[in-house]
Amino acid sequence: MFAPGARVRVKDDWPETRGPAHVRTPHYVRGMQGTVVRQLGAFPSPEDLAFARPAPIRPLYHVRFDQPAIWQEGRADDELLVEIYEHWLEPASRQETA
């Protein structure tokens, strides 16, 4: 589990290239760093529910991203808030957060 304020990186994974997939993580944040704002609860994984597979319960987070880093536009204080399941997140490395 990630605490509010934790620096995270969204996994740069593309399961849709390996066959049919239902992915809730937007492509434009994959591989990007963000900051956990809050945990929203834990829910059955929609990526499994979409295919009527057993769905593990996964924590869901609000993760904040700097908008200019994603779309190369906007002011320095513009932000993007995205809901992302925990299995898509990993701790940001020290090199990335420096």
Given a cut of 80, whether residue 13 has pLDDT beyond it is yes
- Position 31 in a domain: yes
In degrees to the nearest 10, what's the CA dihedral of 46, 56, 87, 3? 110
- Position 58 in a domain: yes
- Position 2 in a domain: no
pLDDT confidence of residue 92: 96
- Position 32 in a domain: yes
Which CATH number do you get for residue 58?
2.30.30.50
- Position 1 in a domain: no
- Dihedral of CA 48/20/29/81: which sign? negative
| Residues spanned by the domain of 87 | 7-97
Convert the pLDDT of each residue in 35-77 to its tens digit: 999 999 999 999 999 999 999 999 999 999 999 999 999 999 9
pLDDT confidence of residue 20: 86
For the chain, the domain total comes to 1
The whole-model pTM stands at: 0.90
